Amino acid sequence: MKSHQIDVRIYYEDTDVGGVVYYANYLRFLERARTEWLRAAGFELSDIQRDMQAVFVVRRVEADYHLPALLGNLVTVTCEPRHVGFSKLVIDQSVRRGDELLLGAVVTLAFVSAGHNKPIPMPKQLRAAMQ
């Protein structure tokens, strides 16, 4: 599971009156790609929450906005793990439209017990699937 990518269509809901995708909404797209990356690795976030009482929470986002996505665009959102720790993940992500880099991001996540915000070790098979 070195990396993963998904396609995202831009709808009215994603845009704002400035004519482009609203800046917070790119973070929704990034999270969809991370979710699909885990699903492709065999893990469902809903199972993780129910069975392990655990969730991934974002600890840090660095995002550089290069070019705006527009209504109707089909963009590609990528997800590539840079570091897989015991309870910490660092992931390189991007949003592209064909050859154009629209957004680059580094997202740091922690695996925590649901409702407690306290880091706990990821199960071995989850870590293995990510590497």
**Catalytic machinery residues:** 16
- The radius of gyration computed from the CA coordinates of the chain, to the nearest angstrom, equals 15
Considering only 4, 35, 37, 75, the residue that binds a copy of itself (CB under 8 A) is: 35
> How far, in Å, CA of 36 to CA of 127, rounded?
16
As a residue count, the chain comes to 131
> How far, in Å, CA of 57 to CA of 38, rounded?
14
23: contact with a copy of itself by CB under 8 A: yes
25: contact with a copy of itself by CB under 8 A: yes
44: contact with a copy of itself by CB under 8 A: yes
> How far, in Å, CA of 80 to CA of 41, rounded?
13
Interface contacts to a copy of itself, rule CB under 8 A: 9, 11-13, 15-20, 22-25, 27-28, 31-32, 35, 44-47, 49, 55, 57-65, 67-68, 70-72, 114-115, 117
